[in-house]
Amino acid sequence: MSNFFNKSDLTRQDADKIVSETLNNCDDGELYLEESKSESILLDDNKIKSSNYSSDLGFGFRAISNEVVAYSYSNEISKDSLKNSSENLKSTLKSIKGTYNHQIPKSNKKFYKDINPIEQKTLDSKLEVLNKVNDFLRKKDGSVKQVTASFAGEQKSIEIIRSGGEALTDVRPLIRFNVSVMLEKNGRKETGVFGIGGRQSYDDYLKNDNWKTVCEEAFRIASVNLESKPAPAGEMKVVLGPGWPAILIHEAIGHGLEGDFNRKKTSAFHDLMGKKVASEGVTIVDDGTIDNRRGSLTIDDEGTPTERTVLIENGILKNFMQDRHNARLMNTRSTGSGRRENYRHIVLPRMRNTMMLSGNQTQDEMIKSVDRGIFAVSFGGGQVDITSGKFVFNCTEAYEINNGKIGSPIKGATLIGDGPSILKEVSMVGNDMMLDPGIGTCGKAGQGVPVGVAQPSILIDKMTVGGTKL
C-alpha cells in the first residue's frame, strides 16, 4: 500500500482539512490519490525490442454540485498543489451550493491480492519465456515469418479521501501476456493474435508451460486465415462462439446502458427501462466481483464496493450501470461502476465484466439450423454509436455456414447491427458460457479501462455481414 503522505510537505491532516473545506458546500466529490508502477517487455522480429518501466504518481480532486463537475489534477502531491486545485474547484462552483452526501457502502470482500506482479517474476525469467515463444513458433512451421510476444504488468495503489476524512484504499495488480504471429504462404500473409491475463501474478497464468497454449492458439488462427476466402456481403444468420465474441454484448448493449448516456437521454435505451429489449432467455449482468478477473474491482474509483448488476433479466431491461454522480441525478444508487483510467481523468460509469448467462441449447443445434450464414469464433475490436444504436465489430476468425454445415474460413469482415433490436434477434442461447481470456480494454471519452466479457454460443437470426462477395 502506498503512503501518499511521506512524499512532500503534505500531511494527511492537511489533506483532510483541504478536502473537507473544499467539499463542504458541494453535493459530492473526493480527493483521489494514485501511484502506479508498470512495465512492458516486448519481443519482436527475433529480438527483445523494448523493455520499459514506468512509475506514475498524482492526484485528482473532484467537486460536484448539482449537475456541474469540477476537476483538477496534478502529478505533484504537495500542499501548494492541492491548495491550487482547491481554489480552481471553488472558482468553478462558486455560485452553486450543495449538501455533501457522506454515505458510501462498505464491504470487506476482496477480489484479488495485494501483490506487485512486476516484482514477482525476475526480468531474466520474463525474457526467457519470450525467447522460448519466439523459438517455439519459428521452429513449428516454415510459414512463420514474424513473431511478437509481450508482457505487460502493473500495480496500481489508490486512496480516496472524502469530506470528513473517510479514506478508502485498494491495491490492484494486472498482467497481460500476448503473442502475435504472422504466417506467409504462397505470397499471402495473415496474422493470428492471442493473449491471456488478469489480476494475478504472471506465473499463475504461465504455469505448466501455458505459454505454449497461447502460441498454438495464435498460430491456429493465422493458419485458418491463410485459407480464408472473401466474406459474403448482406444480411444473414450469425452464430457466435462462446467467450470473447461477447464484445458484441459489450458494444451493442453495454455502452447504451451506462448511466450518463441515459441521464442525458442520448442513449437509444433511455426510455426502455422495464421494457422488453431482448428475446426471452437472454439475461445479461455486469459483474465486478469475479475473483482475479481483468474487469473486477474490489472498490470502484469512487470507493463504492463493486457488485453483480443485473442489466437485462429474461429479456427485460432492469438496471443501468451507475457512478455516484449520475445515480444521484437519476435518483438511484451507484452500482459500483464509477471508473477512470487514472488520476488524470474524471470518473464515468463504465462496464466491468459484462456477461450473457447460459441457456440450454447446444452450438451444434445452432449450426444445423442455419441454411446460409456465418459462424464467428473470434473478434478484434468493436465500436458503437450510442445515439443511433448502431454497432460494429470485426471478425478475426469466422467461417461460412452452408446447409447446416461449417464451410471454409472467411476473411476478416465487419459485422454491423442495431443495439436496441439485436438481442430480439437472438433465437438460441447456448449452454456453454465461457469467460474471455482476459485481454479486453474498453475505450470511452478517451479513457481506456480493463474489462472482461463472457457469453455462451448464440444464434442471431439477422445481422449484416460486411464482406466483399455479393
Partner 1 sequence: MVKDQEFLKSKASYCLDLAKKMGATDASVTIGHSISETVNFRNKSLEASDRSDGLALSIETYLGKRRSSISSSNLLDENIKTLIEKCFETTKITPEDEFNSLPDKNLLAKQISSLNLYDETRFENDKKIKYLKDLEESASSDNQIINTESSFTENKSNFILANSDGFCDGYKTSSFSASCVTVAKDENSMERDYEFSSKRHLSDIKQATDLGKKAANQTIRKLSPKKIGSEKISIIFDKRISKGMLSVFASAISASAIARGTSFLKDKIDKQVFANSINVIDKPDIIKGMGSQNFDSEGVNSNTLQLIENGILKNYLIDTYNGKKLNLKSNGRSGGTTNLYFEKGNISFQDLMKKNSRSLYITETIGHGSNIVTGDYSVGATGFLVEDGEFKYPVNEITIAGNFKDMFKNIILANDLEFEYSVNSPTIMIEGMTVAGK
Site for partner 1 in 57-96 (CB under 8 A): 57-58, 67-76, 81, 85, 88, 91-92
Q: What whole-number distance in Å separates Cα of residue 299 and Cα of residue 337?
A: 9
**Residue from the set 20, 146, 210, 369 that interacts with partner 1 by CB under 8 A:** 146
- Nearest approach, Cβ of 30 to partner 1 (angstroms)? 15
266 lines the binding site for partner 1 (CB under 8 A): yes
**Residue from the set 47, 109, 275, 405 that interacts with partner 1 by CB under 8 A:** 47
**E strand spans, 335-446:** 338-339, 348-349, 353-356, 372-384, 390-402, 405-410, 414-418, 426-429, 434-435, 440-444
Looking at residue 378, its amino acid is S
Closest CA to 377 of 248, 186, 254, 273: 248
Looking at residue 91, its amino acid is S
**Residue from the set 14, 25, 42, 56 that interacts with partner 1 by CB under 8 A:** 56
Site for partner 1 in 342-361 (CB under 8 A): 344, 346
Q: 129 vs 231, which CB is nearer to partner 1? A: 231
Q: 165 vs 380, which CB is nearer to partner 1? A: 380
Closest CA to 112 of 288, 292, 290: 292
Q: 53 vs 280, which CB is nearer to partner 1? A: 53
- Nearest approach, Cβ of 348 to partner 1 (angstroms)? 11
Q: 92 vs 362, which CB is nearer to partner 1? A: 92
17 lines the binding site for partner 1 (CB under 8 A): no
Longest pairwise C-alpha distance within the chain = 73
Site for partner 1 in 183-202 (CB under 8 A): 184, 188-191
Query: Which positions from 98 to 137 touch partner 1 by CB under 8 A, shown as an x/- string?
Result: -------------------------xx--x----------
Site for partner 1 in 396-425 (CB under 8 A): 411-418
386 lines the binding site for partner 1 (CB under 8 A): yes
- Nearest approach, Cβ of 445 to partner 1 (angstroms)? 11
317 lines the binding site for partner 1 (CB under 8 A): no
Closest CA to 116 of 221, 35, 218, 232: 35
Contacts of 287 (CB under 8 A, 6+ apart): 296, 306, 307, 308, 309, 352, 353, 354, 355
- Nearest approach, Cβ of 349 to partner 1 (angstroms)? 15
Q: Is 288 helix (H, G, I), strand (E, B) or coil?
A: coil
Query: Which positions from 274 to 313 touch partner 1 by CB under 8 A, shown as an x/- string?
Result: ----------------------------------------
**Residue from the set 11, 332, 388, 408 that interacts with partner 1 by CB under 8 A:** 388
Number of H helices, E strands in the chain: 10, 22
Q: 48 vs 357, which CB is nearer to partner 1? A: 48
Q: What whole-number distance in Å separates Cα of residue 389 and Cα of residue 261?
A: 12
Site for partner 1 in 165-184 (CB under 8 A): 182, 184
Q: What whole-number distance in Å separates Cα of residue 302 and Cα of residue 339?
A: 7
User: What residue has cell string 494475478?
Assistant: 200
* Cβ atoms within 10 Å of 442's Cβ, excluding its own: 24
